[in-house]
Structure 1
Amino acid sequence: MTAEYFLVLGLIGVAFFAVAGALLGYEKNISGFGVVVVATVTALGGGTLRDILLSKPIFWIETPDYLYSTYAAIIATVLLIRYLPSVNNYYFLVVDAIGMAIFNIMGIEKALISGSGLVVAITMGITTGIFGSLIRDVICREVPSVMRNEPYASACLAGGLVYAALFSQDISYIWCILGSLITTISLRLGSLHWGWHITIFRKKDREVSQKSEVQNS
C-alpha cells in the first residue's frame, strides 16, 4: 500500500471512530469537553497502542492530519446532533463497525510494513480495531463490545484472515482491503441485525463446574 492510500484510509478511520465516540457520549448524556475526550480516545487509542507495540512513532504525533480529521469529525457530529436530535443508537453501531474495519486493516498494514509476519499482523489488526472502543466503553461505563458474546474481535479476525488469504495470492491491495472491509462490517452488522452470538462455554458446562466446586468445598 502506498503512503497516500495509507494516509487516506487512516484519516477516514479516525473520523469514523471519532463520530462513534461522540455519538456514544451524546447517548450517555456526556456534555462539553467530555464528548471531545471520549471521541478522541476512541479515534486515537487503538493506533497509539499499535505504534507503541511496534516501536514506531505515534501516528498522530508524526502526522497531525489525523488530529485534524478527528477534531473535524467531532465538530461535524456535534453540529449534526444539535440540528438532528433524533439521531439514535443505530448510527453509532454503523459508524463503529466501519471504523473498526478500517482500523483493522491499518493495523495489519503497518505490521506488515514493519516486517512482521501475517500472524502478528492479524493480531495487530485486531488490537488496533478494538482497543479504542474498549477504552471508550470503559469510560462510558458500558460493558465493552469486545467482552460480549457477539462478533466484534472475531469480526476483525475474520477480516484479517480474508486479507491474509488474498494477500498470499498476490492479489491487488485494493481487493485485499475491500475483502477485509466487507467481511468485518458484514459480520458485525449482521450479528447486530440477526442476533448472531459466539458462545465458547455452554451454560450447562458452567453449571456442572459450579456444582463440582460446591461439592469439593
Structure 2
Amino acid sequence: MTELFHWFDLLGVMVFAISGTLIAHSKHMDGFGVVVLATVTAIGGGTLRDIILDIPVFWLHDASYFIAIGVAIMISVYFLNRHKQIPQQMLQIADAFGLAFFAVMGVQKALSIGMPDTTAIIMGVITGCFGGVIRDVLAGDMPLLLKGELYAITCIFGGIVYTQLSHWALPVEVIMVCAMSATLGLRLLAMHHKWVIHIFKYPE
C-alpha cells in the first residue's frame, strides 16, 4: 500500500511540474527559471504540509521525486518546442489534475499519522494549493487560490469525500479514486461553468 501511495505522489509531482513548466514557458523564462518554477510547483505544497505536521519532509531522502520532476520538464519542453504555443485550457487542466492528486495525498498523509478529519482536510488544501501559490507569486500572477473559479473549495470537497468514506469498510484505493474524481470533477465543472464565490459587487 505504501508503494501505491508513493506512485500516486510521484504522479502528482509530475503533473504539477508540467503545470509549472507551462507557466514558465508562457512567461518566457530561461532554463533555470523553468527548473525553479516546475520544482516549487511540484513540491512546495507538500513541503509546507510536512513542516506543519512536524514530520520528515517527503523529498529529503528520496531522489525519485526530482527524477519525476526532471522527466516532466523534459516531456513538457519537448512538446512546447514542437508546438511553440499552448492553449490556456491546457494550463488549467494540468493544474486541475495536480490539484486533485495532491489534495487527496495531503488528506491521506495527515490521516495516516492520526490527525483528525478537519486537520486532514486543511492539509489537503495546503498540499494541493500552495505549490501553485508559490508558482504564481514567482511568475508575477495573482494566485488561482485567491481568484477565479472554485479552487481551494474543490480540495475541501475532495477532503470531505475522503474522510467520510474512510469511516466505511472500503479499500483505500477506492477511497482515493473517489476523492480524486470528486476534486477533479468539481474543479473542471467550475472552470466550464465559471462558478465563483462573490461577496463583493464588482463593476462589469
TM-score bin (small chain): over 0.9
Q: Provide the residue aligned with 2:201 in structure 1.
A: 203
The aligned runs of 1:109-124 (5 Å cut-off) are 109-124=108-123
User: Could you list the runs of 5+ residues in structure 2 that have no partner in the other structure?
Assistant: none
Q: Provide the residue aligned with 1:65 in structure 2.
A: 64
Q: Provide the residue aligned with 1:78 in structure 2.
A: 77
Q: Provide the residue aligned with 2:139 in structure 1.
A: 140
Superposed CA offset, 1:14-49 (max 9, x none): 000000000011111112210111110000101111
% same residue: 39
Superposed CA offset, 1:49-92 (max 9, x none): 11111111111112111111011101111111111223222111
Q: Provide the residue aligned with 2:90 in structure 1.
A: 91
Which range moved further: 6-15 or 168-177?
Answer: 168-177
Superposition deviation, residue 202 in structure 1: 3.7
Aligned length: 202
Which entry has the higher C-alpha Rg, 1 or 2? 1
Q: Provide the residue aligned with 2:23 in structure 1.
A: 24
Distance 1:127 1:202 in 2: 25
Distance 2:15 2:152 in 1: 18
Alpha carbons 1:54, 1:114 under 8 Å: kept: no
Distance 1:165 1:33 in 2: 42
Q: Provide the residue aligned with 1:211 in structure 2.
A: none
Superposed CA offset, 1:168-207 (max 9, x none): 12222122111111111111111111111112x2429xxx
Q: Provide the residue aligned with 1:153 in structure 2.
A: 152
SS across alignment from 1:62:
coil
Distance 1:98 1:149 in 2: 17
SS across alignment from 2:85:
coil
RMSD: 1.3
Which range moved further: 187-196 or 36-45?
Answer: 187-196
* Paired letter, 2:75: A
* Paired letter, 1:66: Y
Superposed CA offset, 1:123-179 (max 9, x none): 101110001000000011111000014210000000111111211122221221111
2:197 is aligned with 1:184: no
Distance 1:57 1:147 in 2: 29
Distance 1:186 1:85 in 2: 29
Structure 1-normalised TM-score? 0.89
Q: Provide the residue aligned with 1:127 in structure 2.
A: 126
User: Could you list the runs of 5+ residues in structure 1 that have no partner in the other structure?
Assistant: 205-217
